[in-house]
């Protein structure tokens, strides 16, 4: 896991405005496209209730995403890597 942690820190330390803007655009697009699925909408409603105790409007999610800066992304990621709060999930063929 140390190699992975080093790579993640390296990526966040060298993050550019263009890369951050591209990531934000991709995430926003994925979130908006997911709204077309009834199942995705139900999951989002349930997760909002479960984790936050309330419905979180789409506008609030998108504005929170837009508020992410390079500084916030790198410090948040660095904090998780340094506190060893990394999780790995993977799939393999059966």
Residues 14-52: pLDDT tens digits? 778 898 899 899 999 988 888 888 888 899 889 999 999
Which pTM does this prediction carry? 0.67
DSSP per position, 10-29: HHHHT--HHHHHHHHHHHHH
User: In the CATH hierarchy, which top-level class contains the domain 2-82?
Assistant: alpha beta
**What's the token pair of residue 13?**
């330390």
18-40 burial by CB neighbour count: b if 16+ within 10 A, else e?
eebeeebeeeeeeeeeeeeeeee
Phi first, then psi: give them for residue 88, nearest 5 degrees.
-120, 135
The full set of domain ranges for the chain reads 2-82
Q: Is the pLDDT of residue 1 over 60?
A: no
Beta carbons within 10 angstroms of residue 81's beta carbon? 19
């Amino acid at each position: 896991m140390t190699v992975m942690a080093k790579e993640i820190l390296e990526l966040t330390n060298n993050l550019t405005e263009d890369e951050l803007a591209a990531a934000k655009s991709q995430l926003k697009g994925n979130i908006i496209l997911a709204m077309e699925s009834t199942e995705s909408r139900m999951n989002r409603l349930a997760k909002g209730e479960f984790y936050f105790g309330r419905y979180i409007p789409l506008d609030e999610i998108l504005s929170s995403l837009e508020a992410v800066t390079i500084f916030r992304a790198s410090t948040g990621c660095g904090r998780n890597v340094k506190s060893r709060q990394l999780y790995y999930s993977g799939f393999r063929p059966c």
